[in-house]
């Protein structure tokens, strides 16, 4: 029996409902976080909650709880649903009001927390890597905000799935790889781990941060710059997210990356990151 936090209390998931005039439902007027928990230990809980606060403040919602209170609530939510590998979802919306684009002042934000089993990558994906397609970025211009307005990502994932691929990578007008539908993207170019710099076109992934930190700490050279799949010297691609850690991406648009199997940097970085989780 799964238990969710909704409107100030824990309820069985089936009874955990929100009002049909919640602005999250009508306008996608809200933000979210996904946090992983392994054997009862949260990975980067604080950075996730701090990003939630930044997302809220970017759209002028005041978090209904302090970060310490939120952290306590997340722990409690986990205690109610203690999966070995858990995925905590937190959503904050502006709250409930008669539908009007212009929000009322002083609304009471809605806060919901659910916990689910975290799907682990299959042995097959770890061994052979995953696949992706590229697509022109049709999203809005504030992808740094972790908005619940995810229609473009839903379309992207469907398109990827139609091509038998695991993820869709967004390209800017010049063909630079920005990020994936729900992942940050990296390439290894001339031995350097390259990823798009933080700006309004990408989400500042918590796993991206961790990957860069772990890479630097282990003498893997890192560069944050715009990059293309067509660059000579590109030998590997990777993607990162809370739900994947880092995953090698071995096929993009039906073409083989490197020799078609996970490369040395991807394998090493993934292991280094898993060691950090321990
Ligand atoms: N997605 N970029 C986008 C567009 C994302 O949606 C996500 C995460 C990431 C990776 O961020 P992080 O490392 O902090 O998880 C990058 C989550 C997992 C989701 O929507 O389910």
pLDDT digits (tens, 9 = 90+) for 124-160: 999 999 999 999 999 999 999 999 999 999 999 999 9
Nearest alpha carbon to residue 21 among 99, 82, 84, 91: 99
Catalytic residue among 11, 13, 32, 75: 32
Residues of the chain with CATH 3.30.470.10: 3-117
The topology under which CATH files domain 3-117 is: D-amino Acid Aminotransferase; Chain A, domain 1 (3.30.470)
Residue nearest to atom 8 of ligand 1 (CA): 182
Does pLDDT of 277 surpass 90?
no
Q: 219 φ, ψ to 5°?
A: 60, 25
Our answer to whether residue 146 is catalytic in this structure is yes
Instruction: State residue 68's pLDDT score.
Output: 98
Contact between 236 and 248 (Cβ < 8 Å): yes
Residues of the chain with CATH 3.20.10.10: 123-277
Does pLDDT of 164 surpass 90?
yes
Mutation to probe ligand 1, out of 179, 184, 199 (largest number of atoms < 8 A from CB): 184
Instruction: State residue 173's pLDDT score.
Output: 98
Does pLDDT of 278 surpass 80?
no
CA 23 to ligand 1 centroid distance, Å? 22
Residue nearest to atom 20 of ligand 1 (CA): 182
Q: 255 φ, ψ to 5°?
A: -100, 150
CATH number of 123-277: 3.20.10.10
CB 81 less than 6 A from any atom of ligand 1: no
Does pLDDT of 256 surpass 80?
yes
CB 118 less than 6 A from any atom of ligand 1: no
CB 241 less than 6 A from any atom of ligand 1: yes
Q: What is the mean pLDDT of residues 206-231?
A: 98
CB 147 less than 6 A from any atom of ligand 1: no
- Measured distance CA(21)–CA(27) in Å, rounded: 10
Instruction: State residue 269's pLDDT score.
Output: 98
241 band by pLDDT with thresholds 50, 70 and 90:
very high
CA 118 to ligand 1 centroid distance, Å? 14
Our answer to whether residue 78 is catalytic in this structure is no
Lowest pLDDT segment from 31-40, 112-121, 147-156, 269-278: 269-278
Our answer to whether residue 223 is catalytic in this structure is no
Does pLDDT of 236 surpass 90?
yes
- Residue 152, Cα to own-chain centre: how many angstroms? 14
Average pLDDT value for the chain: 97
Nearest alpha carbon to residue 167 among 237, 269, 90, 258: 237
Does pLDDT of 270 surpass 80?
yes
CB 183 less than 6 A from any atom of ligand 1: yes
Q: What is the mean pLDDT of residues 66-95?
A: 98
- What ipTM score was computed for the predicted complex, to two decimals? 0.99
């Amino acid at each position: 029996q799964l238990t969710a936090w909704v409107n100030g209390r824990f309820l069985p998931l089936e009874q955990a409902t929100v009002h049909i005039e919640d602005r999250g439902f009508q306008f996608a007027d809200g933000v979210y976080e996904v946090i992983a928990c392994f054997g009862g230990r949260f990975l980067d809980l604080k950075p996730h909650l701090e990003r939630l606060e930044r997302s809220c403040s970017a759209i002028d919602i005041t978090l209904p709880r302090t970060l310490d209170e939120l952290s306590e609530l997340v722990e409690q939510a986990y205690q109610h649903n203690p999966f070995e590998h858990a995925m905590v979802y937190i959503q904050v919306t502006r709250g409930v009001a008669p539908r009007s684009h212009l929000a009322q002042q002083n609304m009471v934000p809605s806060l919901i927390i659910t916990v689910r089993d975290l799907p682990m990558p299959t042995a097959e994906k770890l061994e052979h890597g995953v696949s992706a397609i590229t697509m022109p970025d049709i999203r809005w211009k504030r992808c740094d905000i972790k908005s619940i307005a995810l229609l473009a990502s839903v379309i992207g994932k469907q398109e990827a799935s139609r091509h038998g691929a695991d993820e869709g990578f967004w390209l800017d007008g010049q063909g630079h790889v920005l990020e994936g539908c729900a992942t940050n993207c990296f390439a290894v170019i001339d031995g350097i781990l390259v990823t798009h710099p933080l700006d309004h076109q990408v989400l500042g992934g918590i796993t991206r941060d961790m990957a860069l930190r772990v890479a630097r700490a282990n003498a893997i050279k890192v560069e944050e710059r715009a990059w293309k799949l067509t660059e000579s010297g590109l030998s590997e691609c990777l993607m990162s997210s809370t739900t994947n850690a880092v995953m090698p991406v071995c096929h993009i648009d039906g073409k083989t990356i490197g020799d078609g199997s996970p490369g040395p940097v991807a394998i090493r970085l993934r292991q280094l990151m898993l060691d950090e989780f321990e």
